[in-house]
Amino acid sequence: MIKEITHNLYYVGVNDNSKVLFERLWPLPYGVSYNAYLIKDKHNVLIDTVEYPFNKNFFDNIKEVIADENIDYVVVNHMEPDHSSSLLQLIEKYPDIKIIGNKKTIDMLNGFYGITTNILEVKDGETLQIGERTLSFHLTPMVHWPETMMTYVNEEGILFSGDAFGAFGSLKNGIMDVDANIELVTDEMYRYYSNIVGKYGGPVEKAIEKLSSLPINYICSTHGPIWHEKISYVVEHYLKMARYQSEEGVVIAYGSMYGHTADVAKNIYDALNDAGVKNVVMHDLSDVDASFVLRDVFKYNTLILGSPTYNSEIFPKVADLTVKLEGRMIKNKTFSCFGSYSWAGQAVKRLNAFAERMEWNIVEPQIEIKQAGLNVNIKALSQQLAENIIKAIRN
């Protein structure tokens, strides 16, 4: 796919609709794009590359734009292989090309590909005149690798942002935000951020603040649409995610072996809806991939986890989610939990210990039933929990 974004600035990236799991972890129901950009000027400059298996389409796109001209520079904003693994083939086609990167990029070029020559090291804030345009380079470490940086076209306010502001989903409807289904893109942006970047809220916020003084007319990420008409929208959402800010809503995520924990989950779900909570979503972790739960945890301010006791521990699917949540160091959550057991309850106690480690606001009552819970008024307890959740999240 090729598109001229502004005069002599072209999108030359590719769509991947074949990969099932991104990083062999995260489902891709809508595919993913690998975005690269080509600037035609006195010196032709390529911004990032694409994942190796897709480089035939990538090189065809480049050739359609510049025919037999050379590429003088390739800027490597991020070394993750979905953006850098075509570098060796690029050098083979354009042997005089110079690779632009920072010191940490240079170390990784050697480590990943054995590339040690024709490299131009840039430092934070340095510029490069390529003809009518001036590129400036801005280091943004840990967004979300240590070498990440962003490249800015001074004359036009174009920010090549690496993985920042990215989203899952191929660009089948067009590459600009105006062409996109924004509701779907927003969901896939939350999922991309929570799955891939989520641990690094502090560095993301610092990067946004660092670049806030620059006039930005386009944000060209390495995944997802180019942001132009909705720049304030995407920056606002990214800042919310970086600060672990979320809107009113409750995520109920649970595992259930024989349906008893699921019955409690359904009662809590109904009680929250009846009480007027704005957004209530429920996930059975045996049926839903954790990536979608992480997305919703970043979107909404309350999490309720449910688990039966399994081998004196948390049910494995629920335990796996707690590991993912703890690894992302998610802050500012209201929390409760529920569970079931047959003879010795442990799950609720362990879920509480998890929430205490996370320093979340724990709300009671926490419903734990023995066996089928026939002697417990689950509906009344669920209504009490819903009332207390509302008080907690609205205060």
- The reported pLDDT for the residue numbered 392 is 93
Domain range for 301 is 247-394
Same-domain status, 274 and 218: no
Cβ atoms 56, 86 nearer than 8 A = no
- Give the ranges where the chain is alpha helix by DSSP (H): 55-66, 81-84, 87-93, 103-113, 182-192, 201-210, 231-242, 260-274, 290-299, 316-327, 347-358, 378-394
Model confidence at 56, in pLDDT bands (50, 70, 90)?
A: very high
Same-domain status, 219 and 74: yes
What average pLDDT does the segment 57-79 reach?
97
pLDDT in tens, 160-175: 999 999 999 999 888 9
Same-domain status, 75 and 147: yes
Model confidence at 143, in pLDDT bands (50, 70, 90)?
A: very high
Whether residue 258 has pLDDT greater than 90? yes
Tokens of 163: 């993985």
- Measured CA to CA, the distance from residue 31 to residue 169 in angstroms comes to 5
Same-domain status, 226 and 270: no
Domain boundary among 242, 265, 296: 242
- The reported pLDDT for the residue numbered 192 is 97
Same-domain status, 253 and 379: yes
Mean pLDDT of the chain: 96
- The reported pLDDT for the residue numbered 173 is 82
- Measured CA to CA, the distance from residue 306 to residue 256 in angstroms comes to 8
SS3 97: coil
Domain boundary among 210, 242, 274: 242
Same-domain status, 329 and 259: yes
- CATH code for the domain of 331: 3.40.50.360
- Measured CA to CA, the distance from residue 326 to residue 159 in angstroms comes to 32
Domain boundary among 217, 242, 267: 242
Residues near 283 by Cβ (< 8 Å), separated by ≥ 6? 251, 252, 253, 254, 292, 293, 296
Whether residue 1 has pLDDT greater than 90? no
Same-domain status, 115 and 263: no
Same-domain status, 176 and 105: yes
Same-domain status, 92 and 133: yes
Higher pLDDT, 394 or 334: 334
H-run or E-run covering 9: strand 9-11
Q: How would you classify the pairing of strands 73-75 and 98-101?
A: parallel
Same-domain status, 197 and 336: no
Omega of the bond leading into 144 within 30 degrees of 0 (cis): yes
- Measured CA to CA, the distance from residue 219 to residue 216 in angstroms comes to 7
CB under 8 Å, gap of 24 or more: what pairs does 132-135 form?
Answer: 132/41, 132/42, 133/39, 133/41, 135/45, 135/75
Same-domain status, 267 and 178: no
- CATH code for the domain of 124: 3.60.15.10
Same-domain status, 66 and 154: yes
Strand ranges for 111-270 from DSSP E:
119-121, 127-129, 134-139, 149-153, 158-162, 218-221, 247-254
Count of the separate structural domains present in the chain: 2
Model confidence at 375, in pLDDT bands (50, 70, 90)?
A: confident
